[in-house]
Amino acid sequence: MTLDGAIQSRTTTSSSTMRCWRTCRSATTPSRSVCSSSAAATAALSGRCCATRTSSAGIVERIELVDIDGAVIEQSKIHFPQIACGYADPCVTAKVGDGIAFVRDAPDNTYDVIIIDTTDPEGPASELFGLDFYSNVKRILRPGGIVCNQGESVWMHRPLIEKMLHFLRQDVGFASVQYALIYIPTYPCGSIGTLVCAKDAGHDLTVPLRPVEAITGTAQERFHEKLKYYSSDMHKASFVLPRFAAYLNDETKK
């Protein structure tokens, strides 16, 4: 397990923080539980980041991280301790198994937030973009729940993004689905997208329900002050797309 000479361990500041903080700050009741599902071994490193960043959000009582390869979990602890440190948080439970089976077997209305960190739709992770999988994802979400999945590059994959948005809005039936940008210098074209889905109507994903700037208390409780990327302004701005892609977030054109 290597980074192939890349510097991706430095970019978790943007990629994982935005996926986790933005999602948790958008959910109606994010303190109940979180399922972070990384169902392909190739996505396991980012899965580690998600557990760490989500636990640092400070409003989550329970995180269940599912990964198909237990060896990657253990190797991450050894070789990437700065990324895998989330395992030490008592609210994190790591489970080795198939993410598809996990959501299939989970009870209805269980999770407030589901973060799906997969590889691309073509290949080993293709089933993680299917109707059966996402129907179960929606089923196990509680009212007010939010789903976040990686959404490809708006610079390179617009036809695929259009297809995914239509699928999530029309076939799966999420009440709202928005594409959001994250700037990551080590990714192709310098950015990656996420597909953020709300289970219930009337949920404005672009506005954080719990602005981090409103957090008060001790220095330890004001951990958000150490964030290098996420803020309420970045939360809102991530949904503002370049003019050539702005139509993707127009939900009147499903």
Domains defined for the chain, CATH in brackets = 2-23+36-249 (3.40.50.150)
Average pLDDT over residues 83-94: 77
Calculate what percentage of the chain has a pLDDT beyond 70. Answer: 77
Q: At 201, which amino acid appears?
A: A
The two counts, helices (H) then strands (E), for the chain are 8, 7
pLDDT-based confidence at 214, cuts 50/70/90? confident
- From 4, 105, 117, 132, the catalytic residue: 117
Q: In what order do the strands lie in the sheet with 63-67?
A: 92-96, 63-67, 34-38, 111-116, 141-150, 191-198, 176-183
The yes-or-no verdict on residue 3 having pLDDT over 70 is no
pLDDT-based confidence at 211, cuts 50/70/90? confident
Average pLDDT over residues 204-222: 78
Which ranges of the chain does DSSP label H, i.e. alpha helix? 12-26, 44-55, 70-79, 81-84, 99-105, 131-140, 158-166, 232-237
What is the spatial distance between Cα 15 and Cα 182, in angstroms, rounded to a whole number? 6
pLDDT-based confidence at 42, cuts 50/70/90? very low
- The string of pLDDT tens digits covering residues 137-154 is 999 998 988 999 988 999
Angle of helix 44-55 relative to helix 70-79, nearest 10 degrees?
A: 70
Calculate what percentage of the chain has a pLDDT beyond 90. Answer: 31
The yes-or-no verdict on residue 189 having pLDDT over 70 is yes
Mean pLDDT of all residues belonging to the chain: 79
Answer for the pair 178, 205: CB distance below 8 angstroms, yes or no.
yes
pLDDT-based confidence at 49, cuts 50/70/90? very low
Closest residue by Cα to residue 43 from 138, 123, 102: 123
Average pLDDT over residues 54-69: 71
Least confident of 40-44, 107-111, 191-195: 40-44
**117 catalytic residue (yes or no):** yes
pLDDT (0 to 100) of residue 39: 37
The yes-or-no verdict on residue 159 having pLDDT over 60 is yes
Give the Cβ contact number of residue 43 at 10 Å. Answer: 26
Answer for the pair 15, 45: CB distance below 8 angstroms, yes or no.
no
Q: What predicted TM-score, i.e. pTM, was given to this entire model?
A: 0.84
